[in-house]
Chain A
């Protein structure tokens, strides 16, 4: 049932109506709540389902859901790319090509924004229908500096525009966060307050085992630190560090993490994400029988159908 790289995702989105700028809060009571859902069976996307195939609980209470035609909703795509020093060179070129392919796959009604991040977060193109503006910004990117991954993720979340449509954040990074001000917990909590669905992309890489001293406690009587093999290679730890954050972010927003086998696979990965996002289900319901305000845990299941559903775990209602 479970494919090696496919975890299903459900995204929780706000009401389909257009809120005033920046006010895209989740609402209960007479306000529709939108849930972005991915259903898979192993590596295969499950299609052809209707709202009758889903059971959705809000704070443990079953809700009456209806399905929204995904095709009717424009996409807001927030592309956030790591342009730190480790990306410089061929990887950056593949990243530019992958992003260009993603832009090529957008429909006329869709909009796209481009952020880059290294030591600083930079908005290279605000959410725009202009593909040329984004392509020009992509071409001007250069790789240098440290990696402020968490600050960039928060920035993308905060930039989510309160326009009709679904918002996809595509976040690429190839290494550990080395310079963010915000903590992982702060960004994950912020993610729970938006309707953005985050897809994180990394590149599989070999790591070298490095010997490091086991501690910085005072050295032994001979003045030497004890050199030991760490519990895991240092560089693997760095990958795990960013990997855990990206996993948590994807889980919190109903997205997922996808690892490209190599830089040359980035294009296919980006295109696959856009395709997958278009093939999700969007469920809508008006919360009934639950308290207004606060954190609302949600649970989405299939009724009598085969497949795995992964959903945002809840939403904040105000």
Chain B
């Protein structure tokens, strides 16, 4: 299945734009939002990206005024998601650049939040944004979205909020649905801290720091809120191991029990093996690495971990054989190794969040 967020959006809207251009007309901003609401997601994104910025701004202002007057929020939700997808697509095509589409997405979603609190759509959108930005290694913006602090930035840079209906809530995020007491948002904050901690370690302590203690605290809270959140349990075991809290880490892995999802079974076994190595239990470590390999045979990291363990314990013939086998393997692909997506925080969830959000706009399904 093609990864929409990771691989970019399909440019199926070119024909629509071409037809409109050939007819001497261009779809209006309102038309584009209608297209998106009708489930023509990719086409709407393409046409929006081709629209001159001043027309987009005028369209947004018009949409917001209409919403304030009539109280209709659905077009605003659709427009917010439309801008979000366009911004993500632009970011993917021009890595490192910041698109003005971000501002439109932030502004419109802030409006949705104020008109319709508590909004499940906004919550899922925050998760989409923080997941996507973690995958882009844009840790600080990812943290903004996880915490909901993007609003503070929006309020300073956006004039559109001046037309927010007087009845909307201007307060902060309600707890429970949108606030900090949300398992997945806690998980997002913890993942960013863990990622930054690793980068700081690699950079020789000369990088903005993540805090393993904060990460562990967020993960414990996430598990209190969502005991079924397997990723939080696996990350907690890993974070505690990195923080040298080995006994507690061992308890977390023991509590994890049998994990049904092979990706998390792989990661739990890989991390538990590393914990065992750190504690000097080579036999236990080897058993864990074998368990990880059994969970995802094509992944490479556990096979390297086991080869390294053999090398370290003096069995270099076995280490050489294992390295030869793993490096000669032509079947393995990057996507086969859960370790590679674990390194990018929650980015692997972005596609799922986007699908859920599209379904909220157009329940019949996407294009």
- Specify the chain A residue showing the minimal Cβ separation from B332: A120
The reply to whether A158 and B143 form a contact with Cβ atoms under 8 Å apart is no
| Chain B positions within 8 Å of A184 at CB level | 202
Cα distance, A261 to B322, chains bound together (Å):
37
24 contacting pairs across A/B (C-beta < 8 A): A21-B317, A22-B317, A22-B318, A119-B340, A122-B328, A151-B301, A154-B304, A154-B307, A155-B307, A155-B323, A160-B320, A179-B340, A182-B308, A190-B312, A193-B316, A212-B208, A216-B143, A216-B210, A223-B152, A230-B207, A238-B203, A240-B204, A240-B206, A241-B204
B249 CB to nearest A CB, Å: 17
B335 CB to nearest A CB, Å: 9
CB under 8 Å from chain A, chain B span 320-362: 320-324, 326-328, 332, 334, 337, 339-340, 343
| Chain B positions within 8 Å of A50 at CB level | none
CB under 8 Å from chain B, chain A span 184-237: 184, 186, 189-190, 193, 212-216, 219, 222-225, 230-232, 234, 237
Cα distance, A200 to B48, chains bound together (Å):
48
Chain A: residues with Cβ within 8 Å of the partner, total of 55
The reply to whether B334 and A120 form a contact with Cβ atoms under 8 Å apart is yes
| Chain B positions within 8 Å of A151 at CB level | 300-301, 304
Cα distance, A234 to B321, chains bound together (Å):
38
Cα distance, A178 to B67, chains bound together (Å):
46
Interface mask (B194-233 → A, CB under 8 Å = 1, otherwise 0): 0010000011101111100000000000000000000000
A237-B207 contact, Cβ under 8 Å, with A181-B304, A222-B152? yes
Q: Check: B41 CB closer than 8 A to any chain A CB.
A: no
| Chain A positions within 8 Å of B78 at CB level | none
A111 CB to nearest B CB, Å: 15
Chain B: residues with Cβ within 8 Å of the partner, total of 49
- Specify the chain B residue showing the minimal Cβ separation from A178: B343
B329 CB to nearest A CB, Å: 8
The reply to whether A215 and B208 form a contact with Cβ atoms under 8 Å apart is yes
Q: Check: A145 CB closer than 8 A to any chain B CB.
A: yes
A162 CB to nearest B CB, Å: 8
The reply to whether A126 and B324 form a contact with Cβ atoms under 8 Å apart is yes
Main secondary structure of the interface of A (DSSP, over half): loop
Cα distance, A178 to B152, chains bound together (Å):
32
B200 CB to nearest A CB, Å: 9
| Chain A positions within 8 Å of B308 at CB level | 154, 158, 182, 186, 190
- Specify the chain A residue showing the minimal Cβ separation from B201: A183
The reply to whether B304 and A240 form a contact with Cβ atoms under 8 Å apart is no
Cα distance, A177 to B332, chains bound together (Å):
20
CB under 8 Å from chain A, chain B span 226-278: 270
- Specify the chain A residue showing the minimal Cβ separation from B321: A22
Q: Which residues of B come within 8 Å of A, CB atoms?
A: 139-140, 143-144, 149, 151-153, 192-193, 196, 202-204, 206-210, 270, 300-302, 304-305, 307-308, 311-312, 314-324, 326-328, 332, 334, 337, 339-340, 343
A219-B149 contact, Cβ under 8 Å, with A155-B304, A186-B308, A212-B140? yes
- Specify the chain B residue showing the minimal Cβ separation from A117: B327
The reply to whether A181 and B202 form a contact with Cβ atoms under 8 Å apart is no
The reply to whether A159 and B323 form a contact with Cβ atoms under 8 Å apart is yes
Q: Check: A173 CB closer than 8 A to any chain B CB.
A: no
CB under 8 Å from chain B, chain A span 1-28: 20-25
Q: Check: A146 CB closer than 8 A to any chain B CB.
A: yes
Cα distance, A155 to B301, chains bound together (Å):
12
- Specify the chain B residue showing the minimal Cβ separation from A182: B308
| Chain A positions within 8 Å of B311 at CB level | 154, 157-158, 190, 193
The reply to whether A232 and B140 form a contact with Cβ atoms under 8 Å apart is no
CB contact between B202 and one of A215, A230, A241 (< 8 Å): that residue: A241
A121 CB to nearest B CB, Å: 5
**10 residue pairs, one from A and one from B, having the closest CB atoms:** A223-B152, A22-B317, A123-B327, A181-B301, A119-B334, A158-B323, A237-B203, A213-B140, A22-B316, A22-B320
A24-B304 contact, Cβ under 8 Å, with A159-B324, A219-B149, A240-B204? no
The reply to whether A244 and B321 form a contact with Cβ atoms under 8 Å apart is no
Q: Check: A56 CB closer than 8 A to any chain B CB.
A: no
- Specify the chain B residue showing the minimal Cβ separation from A245: B202
Cα distance, A234 to B304, chains bound together (Å):
29
A213-B317 contact, Cβ under 8 Å, with A121-B304, A155-B304, A219-B152? no
| Chain A positions within 8 Å of B326 at CB level | 121, 155
